[in-house]
Structure 1
Amino acid sequence: MAEPLSESRLRVEIDAASFSTGNDQRDGDVPSAKFLDTDRNPLITFVSERVDATSVSGTLTACGVPRSASLSIVRSQVHTNSFTVRATTRVDRTEFGVTAARGMAGRHLDLTLEVTCVHA
């Protein structure tokens, strides 16, 4: 994080096999080659290009496919040595080549992220 906020940069890496949907069968399907193909694409990444008080825009890469993405900041809290941000976005899974389960799985996924950063 930097001052001014627009000078800040963000890089996030998510273990693609770490998703938990609350459904054992779905949790087994998500890492498979039908969906995220985590053997070939173990990480989902986001690299920011623009940060401001209301949004973070950048490149989201899933299944090896990079696409522009914008997250809307819906809540932020600043504490003495940390801050927490909650942000939302909508992702079209077909833009990343995830087309399995047509009619059974939604094309658009609404994501909510809550991140806490602690000053070390």
Structure 2
Amino acid sequence: MTTATPAPGQYAIDVPRSEITFTTTHMFGLGTVRGSFRLRGGTVSLAEPLTGSRVDAVADAASFDTGNTNRDRQVLSKTLLDTTGYPDIEFTSTGAEQDEAGAWALPGQLTAHGVRAPVTFTVARAEVDGDEITVEATATVDRYSHGVTKLKGMAGRRLRLTATVRARRTDSGPA
């Protein structure tokens, strides 16, 4: 794999080869919880210049998994995520930004529990392998911003998300 700039175009997220993991705290910050969500699908639209690029991704809220059946059942219930009423967690970027040090960020909107709130994913790694790209990006999500406010202290307020997304080019690029 190389770290060259990917070619502009449309890329479809390869769901089985992509993942969203998270860490948070519980028990008033004394314990660490690790878990994951599965992606349902999405697209990466790379523009020239890259600042015009866009990412749209949808995760399956009911795929929330920490390996603890009782905790997962509580989080999936109406008490917290209410995955029956809100089955999708969606991210839509509003572009891409590069800072003076050359690091890239994807500011956008995250919709969870039916509430949209701003979030910025910081790109930690981007690789190109032929017509495939792999991007790893992190963000901190405040669950209170999405109206998920019950169990204060028992469940962490902020989740540190890491999205590792693999996508394959679906168009032939500029003519």
TM-score of the superposition, structure 2-length normalised? 0.65
Cα deviation, residue 34, structure 1: 0.6
The letter of the residue matching 2:155 is: A
Q: What's 1:10 paired with?
A: 55
Equivalent residues, number: 120
Alignment equivalent of 1:105, drawn from 155, 165, 169: 155
- The answer to which structure has the higher strand fraction is 2
Q: CA deviation at 1:35?
A: 0.8
> What is the alpha-carbon distance in structure 2 between the residues aligned to residue 51 and residue 29 of structure 1?
36
Residue 2 of structure 1 deviates from its aligned partner by 2.1
Aligned to 1:58, which of 105, 108, 127? 108
For residues 98 and 52 of structure 1, the distance between their equivalents in structure 2, rounded to whole angstroms, comes to 29
Percent of aligned pairs with the same amino acid: 43
Return 5+ residue gaps in structure 1 as ranges: none
Which of the pair has the greater relative contact order for Cα pairs under 8 Å at 6+ separation? Answer: 2
How has the CA–CA distance of structure 1 residues 52 and 82 changed in structure 2, closer, same or farther, with 3 Å as cutoff? farther
Return the letter of the residue paired with 2:86.
N
The corresponding residue for 1:49 is 94
Pair member with larger Rg: 2
- Aligned equivalents of 2:125, 2:138: Cα separation in 1: 10
Deviates more, 1:50-59 or 1:67-76: 50-59
Please report the RMSD computed on the Cα atoms of aligned residues, expressed in angstroms.
1.2
Question: Which residue pairs with 1:88 in the alignment?
Answer: 138
Q: Structure 1 residues 36-45 or 49-58, which shifts more?
A: 49-58
Give structure 2 stretches of 5+ with no counterpart: 1-45, 99-103, 171-175
2:94 match: secondary structure: strand
What's the offset of the Cα at 1:63? Answer: 0.6
Q: Which residue does 2:124 correspond to in 1? A: 74
C-alpha distance after superposition, 1:68-101 (max 9, x if no partner): 1100001111111201011111111111111122
Opposite residue 116 of structure 2, the aligned amino acid is: P
Runs of 4+ displaced beyond 3 Å: none
Instruction: Find the counterpart in structure 1 of residue 81 from structure 2.
Output: 36
Q: Distance in 1 between matches of 2:85 and 2:69?
A: 22
Partner Cα distance (2:169, 2:157) in 1: 38
DSSP-derived class of the 1:50 partner = coil
